Amino acid sequence: MVVTHTAGFRHDSIPVAETIIAQLARTSGAFDVSFCRTAEDVRRMLTPAALADVAAVVFANTTGNVGVPDLDAFLGWIAAGRGFAGVHSASDTYHDAPAYLEMLGNEFATHGNQVDVNAVVENGAHPAVAHLGARYAVFDEIYRFTRNNRGGVTPLLTLDRYPADGLEHAGEPGDLPLAWARSYGAGRVFYTALGHREELWRDQRFQQHILGGIRAVLVP
């Protein structure tokens, strides 16, 4: 189930993201997909009963408090052995819910100008990054997070320099998270900070990044 409802900023790339995820479902045959697009959809589709036959939920560019009827029950559903994948502003979601942010593994703090970065591929056997080689050159809106979460997650993409985005420390050496995986109870979590731009969603390497992340959280 792919959730694209927003309670804050709404990305123009959401329609393209929906199209691409549906296309990945069709062409890969790895999963079937349904979409949760409105506040009413969230109230109806993100209950324990409605999720009984769902293997994983994707928050694709969600923002704010999206109105999950019982957030603790939803997090318990993941922890009981289901999957969760978050894309881009899934980390700009539920700032008022520490338990959600703990599940996700970090919290969006800010971003600067869209820039080119050359990300380090870590844990290259993971299906979200196995196709990328040692480095992934990409142009996007690059998030800064509230903390370095290395040690609490399995890093997949990191930056060894701050992006040249006009913010503090721009261009300086650093160690910044960009994509990661983690366990949450018996559940599986994948998150990538990439996915702001429509053009990136149309890029095959990024599509494989998303497909690999979804596949990983679907693995029993």
Domains along the chain with CATH numbers: 2-218 (3.40.50.880)
Collapsing DSSP to helix, strand or coil, 78 comes out as helix
pLDDT band for 184, please (50, 70, 90 cuts): very high
How many angstroms separate the CA atoms of 174 and 195, rounded? Answer: 22
Give the per-residue pLDDT at 7.
Answer: 98
Give the per-residue pLDDT at 11.
Answer: 98
Using an 8 Å Cβ cutoff, are 176 and 207 in contact?
no
Going by C-alpha positions, the residue among 62, 202, 88 that lies closest to residue 143 is 88
Q: If you average pLDDT over residues 107-115, what whole number do you get?
A: 98
1: tokens are 């189930």
**Tens digit of pLDDT for each residue in 119-177?**
999 999 999 999 999 999 999 999 999 999 999 999 999 999 999 999 999 999 999 99
Give the per-residue pLDDT at 219.
Answer: 75
